[in-house]
Amino acid sequence: MCRWFAYFSPTEPCLLSDVLITPKHSLTNQVNDHYLPGLIAHLPNKITAEHEANARNRILNADGLGIAWYTSTYSDFEKGATDESEDGKPHDGLRPAIYKTIQPPKGDANYRSICANTETRCLFAHIRASSESAVAHVNNHPFIFGRIAFMHNGSISDFPLIRRALCDMLDPDTYNSIQGSTDSEHIGALFMHFLSTGKGADTWDENYSVHAIAHALHTAIKTVCNLQKKILGPKRRPNSLNLAATDGTQIVACRFRNHKQEQPPSLYFSTRAGTTLNRKYPDHPDGDDRPEQGPRKEKKEHGQHVIVASEPSTYIEADWRIINKNQYLFVHKDGRFTLQNMLYSESWNADDADAEKAILAELEDQKATVTEEEG
């Protein structure tokens, strides 16, 4: 599985290197290290379901890196002094700038330079663990659709078997926007198709409410589960779909797995860790003393913010909460957050053991048929 990190504040920008590189357990270091409080025991006297947590939180995420940070630079220049765009189309507001690479982030000088010199109030960052698709920069998250950025941690089970049917549902612009081969980009395209109600790329720069984004995510998840039920029947397996989408002014994230007992990959959020991560303020993400750089701002001066991440990146466990299974996190434009349980249908449930039984039964039927024909 992959790892990802999202930051949003309506007023307080973050320096990319502060949140992605400096912490001992930054996203950059999650390439080969895990920190899962509440899921895996990090103290010898704590007992947790470590085996299950490990099953959906792979230790190695070395198949690509992508970051998307929102900036108003283009609209500032495009509108100029007249506040009107040259082509007559709206270019106002924030747009995502992206950087993707298949190089290990720890040794990527370009990545480090961007992070050291870029600030933003909305950031998506992702490191990839490939399941079946090729290691290529086009397969790296986040995926961009107009002003919308989308990323995923998890997998669509037996994706090659439903891919054709999924693609047949997409409008031409959304289908043609797919550059790679991952299940993640395809469910992102499906989400965008539903968000834009199939009207194509001309609508991708429109303003959508947080509830419209959540509804499109839910419809995409429901569609995947229903396609698997229709095409695979009892042979379908559960999916892990930790999804996130943003337009630079709000975020919707969800933690999903369609199994009765099993948990999805980890997903946390924090409304306090941004202060610890920001070098302008006291404290350090690793609990160390910061080098003296003059007076620090008071913590109370830090703007309202929300961080959503596969793993915590600061040492204060109390600052982080786990998003529940099959639950949405809404991060609103004013920096507030709300949690909402997903409308879940028991008909979506799938089980690897049941799928294996169905496959074995089918094989036995095929063997019996061959035996009869030979007889």
Q: What is the pLDDT along the chain (375 residues), one digit of tens a residue?
A: 689 999 999 999 999 999 999 998 999 888 777 788 877 544 444 545 555 555 555 556 567 899 999 999 888 777 655 445 455 444 468 999 999 999 888 889 999 999 999 999 999 999 987 667 788 889 999 999 999 999 999 999 999 999 999 999 999 999 999 999 999 999 999 999 999 999 999 999 999 999 999 999 999 999 999 999 999 999 999 999 999 999 999 999 999 999 999 999 999 999 999 998 999 887 788 777 656 565 567 767 788 999 999 999 998 899 999 999 999 999 999 999 999 999 999 999 999 998 999 889 888 777 766 666 665
Number of domains in the chain: 1
For 8, phi then psi, to 5°, come to -145, 135
Cross-sheet strand order for the sheet of 321-322? 95-101, 65-71, 122-127, 3-8, 306-309, 268-270, 321-322
For residue 119, the cross-strand partners are: 15
Regarding beta strands 321-322 and 268-270, do their DSSP bridges make them parallel or antiparallel, or are they unpaired?
antiparallel
In the block, which residue shows the tokens 């103290």? 43
How many CA atoms, within 13 angstroms, populate the side-chain half-sphere of residue 155?
18
The answer to whether residues 143 and 184 touch, using CB atoms and an 8 Å cutoff, is yes
Token pair, residue 357, equals: 């039984």
* Domain span at 196: 3-374
Length of the chain: 375
Distance CA 352, CA 15 (A): 43
CATH value at residue 205: 3.60.20.10
- Please compute, for residue 299, the number of CA atoms within 13 A of its CA located in the half-sphere on the CB side: 10
Reference 220, options 249, 251, 245; nearest CA is: 245
- How much is the pTM? 0.89
Neighbouring CB atoms inside 10 A of 365's CB total: 10
Distance CA 164, CA 181 (A): 12
Amino acid letter for position 123: L
